[in-house]
Amino acid sequence: MFNKTIPSETSAIAPLLQESLEYLRALKSQGIAAHVDEFYFALSLDELLTNAVVHGNLHDPGKRIQLSIEPHGYSVEIKVTDQGNGYDPASVPDPRKPECVFRSWGRGIHLVKNVAKVKWNGKGNEVRVRL
């Protein structure tokens, strides 16, 4: 199992993403998580971490983001928890709707939901993605 905590700073995302990819590759070399696509893994993780920094913790470097990656046979579960107030994921409009096409937000979660199984906790400050 992979567990890391980072400050809510966008500069902390890329190094954690790289370390997470190395962990996934190590699992795959052992025959674990064989069905996990690296592109979708990186896309999902980048989106989740960015949302936690920007929307969850509002760029507050005093707040932390917790990441865990747990292998489950041929798949992995990514869990990202921030210290924000949470939100209702159902309130994010479908970015394919005409009135949403030119918005600068709301596409990432839609993408992740189309490549993985996604669940939020009741508060909306923790998301689990199964790839």
Instruction: Give the position of tokens 């998580």.
Output: 33
Q: What is the mean pLDDT of residues 77-105?
A: 89
The count of structural domains within the chain is 1
Is the model's pLDDT at 66 over the cut of 90?
Answer: yes
Average pLDDT over residues 40-65: 96
Residue 101 confidence class, pLDDT cut points 50, 70, 90? confident
Res 119: pLDDT:
97
- Given a contact cutoff of 8 angstroms between Cβ atoms, the answer to whether 67 and 80 are in contact is yes
Q: What is the CATH number of the domain that holds 59?
A: 3.30.565.10
Cβ(27)–Cβ(96) under 8 Å?
A: no
Q: What is the pTM of this model?
A: 0.94
Helix-, strand-, coil-residue percentages of the chain, each rounded to 5? 40, 25, 35
Per-residue pLDDT at 7 exceeds 90: yes
Could you tell me the residue range of the domain that residue 28 belongs to?
2-130
Average pLDDT, integer, range 32-40: 96
Angle at 89 between CA 99 and CA 70, to 5 degrees: 130
